[in-house]
Amino acid sequence: MSTPMNKSQVIAGTIGVCAAALGLAGRARSTGHTAAAAGVLAGAAWFTAGAFAANTPIMGPVAATGPGDRPRAALTFDDGPGPSTPAVLEALEAAGVRATFFVLGAHAVRYPEIVRRIHEAGHQIASHGFDHGILVFRGVRHVRDQLSRTEAAINDAAGADAISPWFRAPHGFRGPATWIGVRSAGYRMAGWTAGVFDTAEPGVQTIVDRCDAALRPGTVVLLHDADGWRTGRARPQTAMALPGICEAARRRGIELVTFTDLLETA
């Protein structure tokens, strides 16, 4: 197993790629190869846009929004389970809402009883990879390993029917091999419509207000019930914001459903 790559490492690596591309383009242009220089720069731009724009199809198709002709939206949670997940589940149950949890395999190993509870409550479980490592510079074998280890952890916790065939990349960052690995493992890429930056802990009411402003037919809201990098860290503000978020959806006449149910809305 390789060490997970974090955001800073991936950004530094991408800067290195772009710097190398600029150097190559400069040499090509100085020798009269203008077309080659343009091609190198275009390739660097393609790589950067595809890696860091979460919903771009450059690195393969991504489902990020549902149909806008019916009043439905989806709440999705990344990085769990964790200490705040039970409170999240209680808030969702009180509101009669079903959501989608993009689970980390390592956290499923640590909190199998919470994974089981998510499944038994009727929520959708999907994959967020095993260790939250960023995949921009990883190959197909690594991507498939992340998926298979996470699937095994979820199966052990909640049964073979618990996981759905959706994968959301950590931070939404992807590389050229990500989609190939995801597709070959039988998964599809998931994105999101509205991130409300609840991980910055801006305050419960701010999280509610941001969700309220984002909720429209077809919206996929990105929230977090744990910390992808620090196992055991709680997300209490997100859990406490959920009653207000669900009430905002009700007030707007929007039904909150799972990710798959939103996409399959006719």
The burial of 107, by beta-carbon neighbours within 10 Å (0-12 exposed, 13-18 middle, 19 or more buried), is given as: buried
- SS3 category, 147: helix
Q: What is the pLDDT of residues 198-215, one digit of tens each?
A: 999 999 999 999 999 999
**33 in catalytic set:** no
Q: 118-124: long-range contacts at Cβ-Cβ below 8 A with a sequence spacing of 24 or more?
A: 118/81, 118/85, 118/89, 118/158, 119/158, 119/159, 119/162, 120/158, 121/89, 121/92, 121/93, 122/98, 123/89, 123/92, 123/98, 123/99, 123/258, 124/98, 124/99, 124/100, 124/164, 124/258, 124/259, 124/260
Candidates 78, 79, 198, 225; catalytic one = 78
Task: State pTM to two decimals.
Answer: 0.85
Query: Rounded to 5 degrees, what are φ and ψ at 258?
Result: -75, 165
Angle at which helices 204-214 and 236-252 pack, to 10 degrees?
40
Q: Residue 45: what pLDDT?
A: 56
Q: Residue 229: what pLDDT?
A: 83
Regions of the chain where pLDDT drops below 50: 21, 25, 40, 266
**107 in catalytic set:** no
- SS3 category, 75: strand
Six-digit token string for 132: 């939250």
CA dihedral sign of residues 18, 181, 73, 232: negative
User: In 3D, which of 93, 108, 172 has the Cα closest to residue 136?
Assistant: 172
Q: Residue 16: what pLDDT?
A: 54
Is 140:177 a contact under the CB 8 Å cutoff? yes
Q: Residue 218: what pLDDT?
A: 97
Candidates 128, 224, 225, 227; catalytic one = 224
Give, for 93, the enclosing helix (H) or strand (E).
helix 85-95
- SS3 category, 157: helix
Q: Residue 21: what pLDDT?
A: 47
Q: Residue 266: what pLDDT?
A: 45
